[in-house]
Amino acid sequence: MTVVKISGKGQVVIPAAIRQSLDLTAGDRLNVTVVNGRVVMEKLPVAAVWREIVAQIPVEQVVLDEAGHYDVERAPHFDHWLRSEK
């Protein structure tokens, strides 16, 4: 167990060993939440990582024919969204 002290400004120093193991560096942003009475800090992705995440989002072009129908095989995610309960 590692014990740290909260400063008068509410600041906490994350010990070097923990920063190194999580690859935390100056300027990194953390999301801080309370889960079941515990403080949880999670490193937020940097812009380069966000680009990788966004690149993995499936993109479909939904083409409607004259009757307003679309090809389910060409737009499976749209079809799933359309049929899911709201």
Instruction: Provide mean pLDDT across the span 42-70.
Output: 81
Q: Is 20 helix (H, G, I), strand (E, B) or coil?
A: helix
pLDDT for 16 equals 96
Residue 79 covered by a domain: yes
Residue 26 covered by a domain: no
pLDDT for 39 equals 95
Residue 66 covered by a domain: yes
| Farthest-apart Cα atoms in the chain, separation | 68
Residue ranges making up the domain that contains 84? 59-86
At 64, phi and psi to the nearest 5? -100, 135
Q: Say which residue, 54 or 4, is predicted with more confidence.
A: 4
Domain count, the chain: 1
Alpha-carbon span 83 to 76, nearest angstrom? 11
Residues 6+ apart with CB under 8 A from 52: none
pTM: 0.51
pLDDT in tens, 18-53: 999 999 999 899 999 999 999 999 998 777 677 777
The answer to whether residues 2 and 15 touch, using CB atoms and an 8 Å cutoff, is yes
Tell whether the model's pLDDT for residue 86 goes beyond 60.
no
